[in-house]
Amino acid sequence: MHHLLRLPSLRGLAFSSLACVPLISLAPPALAQSEAAEARNVESAQAFDIPASSLADALTTFGLQSGLQMSYTSKLVQGISVQAVKGGDVPREALAKLLAGTDLAFRLINGSVVVIVKRGSEAVAADSSPRQLGPVRVEGASSQSVAAGANGSTDPTATEGTGSYTSSALSIASKMPQSIKDTPQSVSVITQQRMRDQNLTDFTSIMNQATGISVIAGDNNSGGSNINPTFYSRGFRITTLQVDGGAPLTAAGQSLPGGLAGGSNYVPIIDMAEYDHVELLRGADGQFVGYGDPAGVINLTRKRPLDHSQVVVEGASGSWSNERAMIDVAGPLALDGRVRGRVVLSYLDQDYFYDIATTNRTLVYGILEGDLTPTTLVSGGVSVTRQNNVPWIGGLPRFQNGDDAKLSHDTCLCFPWNQWNFDTKEAFAQVEQRLGDNWSAKLNLTRTNQQSVEKVGSVAGAINPVTDQGPTIRGSKLGPYPSVQNMADLTLTGSFPLFGHRQQLVFGTSYQTVHGDETGFQYSSGLFPSPLPQANVFNFNPGAYPEPADPRVNYTLAQASQKVMMAYTTLRLTLLEPLHFITGLRYSSYSYASQLNTYRTDAGATGPGRVNRGTDHNLSWPPTYSVVYDVSKTLSAYASYTDIYVSQERMLDEQLNSIDPLTGSNVEAGLKFATPDNRLNATLGAYRIVQKNYPLLVDYGPYAATQGAAPDRFHSCCYTTLSSDKQANESHGADLEVTGELTRGWQLSGGYTFNESVRKGTANYPVGYTGPKTPLISRAPKHLLKLWSSYQFQNGDWWRRLSIGGGVNSQTRSFNAGAACTAYNYGTDANGNVTAICQTGKTVPYQFSQDFYAVFSARIAYQLDRNWNAALNINNVTDKTYYQTAGSSDGGNWYGDPRNFMLTLRGTF
C-alpha cells in the first residue's frame, strides 16, 4: 500500500522530497494527522502486542497500537518477516525491535509520521517513480493535505484495507475528496469492510443497510418484481446514480428528466464485487447533478489497481442454494509499477425462499491504470454483467377489503417459463492531471449499454373472501430493448490564497445522452386470451399454464432519446477561520425526442407515429448556498439550501403544451463530529423539503381527439400542475448517524431516520384512505433504524483471531389504502391488447398496515491463518414473519426473508 504524502510547513530537503514519493499510510487511512495527534508524546511507554508476521502486517499493527502514521513503499517491505514484539515500550524502542535484523531504518517526522527507509539513507530517494497523483487536497480537515487512498490505491476515498466503517474523505456533493464533517449536507458511506462483514454483495443489499433508505420490493403495486425494487429517501424515489463521481446515470423509474420508458433507463442490476465503497447523499443535489431531485444521489466508487500484488478469492454458500464465488487480482504490471491492473470475476447462482424464482449472474471487471507522467494519471476499463432471471412479477394479493390472505412463505405466483434477462456492458476512462501544487483537472467518461428481454406471466387481483376467486393470470413480452447512455464529466478543482486563507474553487461541465432506439423497442401484450384465466392462489399450480406462444408485435419505438448538459461552478469561501460559506452557479439544459409506431390487429403498421420533442433550459444562481462553522477542531455546525428543479417537458396539458417544471427547496441544518484521526464520524441533521408543480392527471380526451388514439406511455397527456403552497409535496424529518471506531477493534454503523411527508391538496387523497394526511409514500415508515456493530478481539493468540458482529433493522408502521375492483368487463382494444375495465360501482375500499418490526442479524468470523478467514452470517435470527412491502389488495405484497445463513471462506494473498 502507499500514499504520496505531503506535509504542511515542511522544512529541509528530507521533508520536501517526501512530496514526490509513493508511500504507504496506515493510520489514519486518508487524512494527515491533526495538531492533537502531532503533539502526542511518542516517548511515553505503551503496551505493544505485535505477533510474528510479515513486516507489512506488523507495521499495520504497530500503527494501530501506537497511533502513529506509517509511511513506506510496499516494495520496500515486500517479502520480509519479523519476530513478535510484546510488552511495554516507548514507540521508538518497539519499532527498533521490529526492524531488528532488517536493512531498514525509520525516521519520525513532525511527531506523528514514521517513514521507513533503507538503512543509511538520509532521505527518501528523490528519483523514486511516483505511483499516483498527489497530493490530493481535502479542505476542511485539520491538515490541508491528504495522501492518496489506503492499501496502495490511487483513489483518496478508497476504503479497502482500512478495516473501518467510515471514511475520512468522500467525493459526493463536492467533486473532490472532502471530509464528512465539512460536507454541509447529509452524506453516508458504506465501506468495503462493512460490505464484507454484512455480506452485501449486490445493490439491493447495499440499499437495505443504507441510512434513511426504504426499500420497496416490487413497487407500483402488482406490477413490480422481486429483482428490481425501488428505493425511497425522505419520501421521494431515488433515481440518480453516479459512478466515480461522474455525470449522472439515469436509472429506471425516474419520472423526469429521463422518464422516457422502462426500456430506455438503466436498471441497477449491480454486483458489488466491482466497487470499493458506496457514497450516499440524502436530499437534493442541485449543484452537480443538474436537476435537484429531492430524494438523493448514490455514487458507486470502483476498485482501482494497487501498487502491490494482491489476490483475493472468496467462496460462499447459503440457504436456498445461494452459491457465490469471486476472485480479485490486482497489482503492478510493467514499467517498475507505473502500469497497474486489476481484474475481478464473480459468479452467483441463487434461489429464493419461495418456489420457482431464480437468479444467475456473472460479472467480469477489468481496469488498467498508468502514470503517464509524474503528474498525469490515466485509467480505463470495462465491466460486463450478464444476469438471467426467472422472476416473480406482482407479489402476493390480499382479500378485497385488505385483510391478509396469509399465504405460505414458499408461495410464488410465477411460472417456470418466466424470463427477465440483462446484458450490461460498461466502458470507462479517466484522466487526472495535477496542475501545480493546488490545482487538478479530471475527465471522466462512461458508456453503458444494457440490453434486456422480458417475457413473464403474473397473477394479480384481489381475492373474494367468499369464493376465493378474483386473481387472474396475465402476461406480457417486452424486448429486446436497450438503454444506451453516454456520460462525460470534466472538472477543475483547486484552491488559492485570499483574505489570509485558502479558498476552494470548482469548475465543471457534464454531458449525458440516453438512447432507447438503437435496436428498437418492441412490446407485445396479451400472452393470455380474453377473458383472463382465473387463478386459485391457495392451491396454485403453475404447471397448468404452459408457456404461451409469442403474440404479434403491438408497437415499436422508432426513437427515444434525451440529452442533459450542465455547467457549474462552486466557491468555498473562508473569510474568518471558523466560518466557511459555500455557493455556486449552475446552468442546465434538457431535451428529448420520441416516436411511437403502433400495429393494429386488422392491418399492418398505422404509419409513423407522432414525433414528440421538447427542450428546457435553466440558469440557477445560486442553486445552493451553505454555511459551515467550526465550533472546534472536532465539531462543526452547518446550514444549507438547495433548489429543486426538474423539467416536465414531456408531460402535456389539455392544449398539448408542456407543463411547468417541478420546483421547490431543500433546507437542512445540523451538527457534525469527527475525531482528530477521522476514525469516528457522527451527524445530526434536520431537514424540510417543499416540492411544487407536481403533475396531476386530468384527461386523455384532447390527445385522443387530435391523434386518434390514447396517448402513448412515452409522452403523457393530459396533466395540470398545482403550484400554490396549499398544493405541495412536503417532507420534513431528522437523521442521526454514527459510523466508525468507538474503541480499538469496535466498529459501529448506526443510522436513525425520522420522516414525515404529506401531499397537500384533496385531489391527491387515495380512494378509501381515512387518515388525516396523505403521505408521499405510505409504504415507507416514519421511523427507521439500521444498526450494525462488530468487534475484533484484541488479546490472546486465539481470541485475536475471532471477531463477532450483530445488528438490527427496524421500522415503524407502514400502510396502504385504496379501492379494490370486484368485477371487471374484459375485452380487446383496437391494437389487440386485452383490457379489463372495472364495472361501475363494483369497488371495495381497503386500508391495511404492516406494524412495527425488528429484524436481527449476527456474524462470527475466525482468522484460520495468515491468509484464510471463515465467516458465518445469520440474517433474521429470530425468524420474524413480516411484510417487507405493503402493496395493495390486488398484489405487490412481499414477505421479508425468513431466517437464513451464509458461510463464506475468504483468502487474501
What pLDDT is attached to residue 899?
Answer: 97
Q: Are 7 and 29 in contact (CB under 8 A)?
A: no
Q: Which residues contact 457 (CB under 8 A, 6 or more apart)?
A: 393, 414, 415, 417, 418, 473, 474, 475, 527, 528, 545, 548
- Measured between alpha carbons, how far is 389 from 92 in angstroms, rounded to an integer? 59
The SS3 assignment for 726 reads: helix
What pLDDT is attached to residue 870?
Answer: 97
Q: Are 894 and 884 in contact (CB under 8 A)?
A: yes
Residue type, 866: R
- Of 112-121, 158-167, 377-386, 668-677, which gets the smallest average pLDDT? 112-121
Higher per-residue pLDDT: 263 or 454: 454
Residue range 785-806: mean pLDDT, rounded:
93
Residue type, 53: S
- Measured between alpha carbons, how far is 902 from 12 in angstroms, rounded to an integer? 55
State pLDDT tens for residues 213-252.
Answer: 999 886 544 457 888 888 999 999 888 899 999 998 887 6
Residue range 827-849: mean pLDDT, rounded:
75
Residue type, 858: A
Given a cut of 80, whether residue 724 has pLDDT beyond it is: no
Confidence at 145, pLDDT banded by 50, 70, 90: very low
Is 341 exposed, middle or buried (CB count within 10 Å of its CB: 0-12, 13-18, 19+)?
Answer: buried
What pLDDT is attached to residue 250?
Answer: 81
Q: Are 251 and 266 in contact (CB under 8 A)?
A: yes
State pLDDT tens for residues 422-473.
Answer: 999 999 999 999 998 889 999 999 999 998 888 889 998 999 999 999 999 9
What pLDDT is attached to residue 54?
Answer: 81
What pLDDT is attached to residue 137?
Answer: 31
Is 44 exposed, middle or buried (CB count within 10 Å of its CB: 0-12, 13-18, 19+)?
Answer: exposed
Angstrom distances, CA of residue 662 to CA of 141, 291, 759, 847: 37, 10, 14, 30
> Phi-psi category of 841—alpha, beta or left, where left has phi over 0 and alpha has psi -120 to 50?
left
Helices 55-66 and 91-99: crossing angle, nearest 10°?
180
Confidence at 832, pLDDT banded by 50, 70, 90: low
What pLDDT is attached to residue 264?
Answer: 60
Higher per-residue pLDDT: 569 or 135: 569
Q: Which residues contact 69 (CB under 8 A, 6 or more apart)?
A: 25, 26, 27, 28, 32, 33, 63, 112, 113, 114
Given a cut of 90, whether residue 725 has pLDDT beyond it is: no
What pLDDT is attached to residue 249?
Answer: 87
Q: Which residues contact 585 (CB under 8 A, 6 or more apart)?
A: 568, 569, 619, 620, 621, 622, 623
Mean pLDDT of the residues in the chain: 81
- Measured between alpha carbons, how far is 140 from 161 in angstroms, rounded to an integer? 24
What pLDDT is attached to residue 642?
Answer: 92
- Measured between alpha carbons, how far is 508 from 725 in angstroms, rounded to an integer? 34
142-151, 325-334, 557-566: which has the highest mean pLDDT? 325-334
- Site of grid cell 436497450: 482
Q: Which residues contact 65 (CB under 8 A, 6 or more apart)?
A: 46, 47, 48, 49, 50
Given a cut of 90, whether residue 809 has pLDDT beyond it is: yes
- Measured between alpha carbons, how far is 155 from 367 in angstroms, rounded to an integer? 13
- Measured between alpha carbons, how far is 128 from 379 in angstroms, rounded to an integer? 21
Q: Are 159 and 740 in contact (CB under 8 A)?
A: no
Confidence at 699, pLDDT banded by 50, 70, 90: low
Percent of the chain residues topping a pLDDT of 90: 47
Higher per-residue pLDDT: 152 or 634: 634
What pLDDT is attached to residue 727?
Answer: 73
C-alpha cell of residue 834: 386485452
Confidence at 257, pLDDT banded by 50, 70, 90: very low
State pLDDT tens for residues 401-432.
Answer: 999 999 999 999 999 999 999 999 999 999 99
